[in-house]
Amino acid sequence: MNQQGHGMPLTLIAGQFRIVGAAPDGDSVRFYPTVTDAFARAGINARTNAAGGAQMRLDGIDALETHYTPSHGGAGTLHQPAEFGDAAAARLLDLLGFSGVQRDDRQIVTSGSPDAVDGYILTRFADQYGRCVSFLFTGAPPGEDLSQLFLTADQLRTSVNVSLLADGMTYPTYYSKLFADLRAVMTEAVRTARSAGSGVWPTDVTTTGFTVTGEATITTDVVIMPKLFRRLADYLALNDGASSLAGLPAFLASQDDRLVVVSEARFTGFDNVIEVTGQQVKLLYPPEDLVFMEK
């Protein structure tokens, strides 16, 4: 947990961001390396399409869900309040340099300008879904393609990841592979956005609490940390429409989401930092105080 950003280098991969035909959201977008087998050469198990492109998962952030399919039950595809999920998706593309973006009713981009934006990513690994967990940057890379780079705090502040947090467009969601000094830069951006009342923060009820009366509570009524939304969506789907939260603590425990509460240097489970009182739910710590273990 005490790794430093200078303790292990990230791989720099140059290429292009492209969006037509894909469905980028507020924390993921398609990237095409200049070197077609770049991911393989870097030892990163990313799933690539026929043209060599792979989905990027922006490290350290989580945007409101725009199309989430619960892992249990037949709830179909769910979303969080669309205003914020759509705003994060639009802001990500804006930060990358795309304009005039048009989408169809499935959120797939049908047109946008330019066709591609030059940029680069800094990464170390892909997640369990084959998405490359990355920091995203536009412009000319600061080193050779496929070289190893130590990311500094100042460089990180120029990333798309930090810009989205600074705008209040996304929630911080940290995992243990994210270096502590880089996490501190991201937390600084989060706290600035919250103090300024930007983006999701004036509406967020993650730590103040909210009452669940049914699925609509989390899909249309309240703005909460996406990871908490996903667990609640999974639980409600399992209950076949019943909204009672009586079984929620046991369900959360069964998910075995392990984490560290940074402010207390305490290792525990997600179920132990969520308070369930009747139909009321709240997270006992701000999202940036939690560091989850990768599964």
Boundary-marking domain end, from 196, 227, 242: 196
Strands in the chain per DSSP E: 10-18, 28-33, 54-58, 61-62, 99-103, 109-113, 116-126, 132-138, 148-149, 171-172, 174-175, 210-211, 258-261, 266-269, 274-277, 280-283, 290-292
Q: Given this model, what pLDDT does residue 72 score? A: 74
- The pLDDT value given to residue 4: 44
**Residue 204 belongs to some domain of the structure:** no
Output the pLDDT for position 1.
36
Is residue 187 situated within a structural domain? yes
pLDDT at 5 over 60: no
Here the CATH number for the domain that contains residue 82 is 2.40.50.90
CA 54 – CA 24 distance, rounded (Å): 12
In a domain, residue 1? The reply is no
Other CB atoms within 10 A of residue 288 CB: 23
Shared-domain flag, residues 257 and 230: yes
Within its chain, how far is the Cα of 108 from the centroid?
19
Token pair 């870097």 is at which residue? Answer: 42
177 and 237 belong to one structural domain: no
Cβ contact 132:55 at 8 Å: yes
On whether both 173 and 229 belong to a single domain, the answer is no
Can you give the pLDDT at residue 76?
83
pLDDT of 3 higher than 50: no
The answer to whether residue 219 scores a pLDDT higher than 60 is yes
For position 75, what pLDDT does the model report? 64
* CA end-to-end distance (rounded Å), the chain: 16
**CA-CA distance, 153 to 4, in Å (whole number)?**
11
Q: Are 186 and 246 in the same domain?
A: no
Q: How confident is the model at residue 74 (pLDDT cuts 50, 70, 90)?
A: low
- In terms of domains, do 60 and 188 share one? yes
- The predicted-structure confidence for 135-163, as pLDDT tens digits, reads as follows 999 999 999 999 999 999 999 999 999 99
Q: Residue written as tokens 């979303």? A: 79
Residue 2 — pLDDT band, cuts 50, 70, 90?
very low
Verify that 27 and 112 share a domain, yes or no: yes
Query: What is the domain range of residue 268?
Result: 210-292
Length of the chain: 295
pLDDT at 282 over 70: yes
The number of helix segments (H) and strand segments (E) in the chain equals 8, 17
pLDDT over 70, % of the chain: 97
Whether residue 4 is contained in a domain is answered as no
The predicted-structure confidence for 159-214, as pLDDT tens digits, reads as follows 999 999 999 999 999 999 999 999 999 999 999 999 999 999 999 999 999 999 99
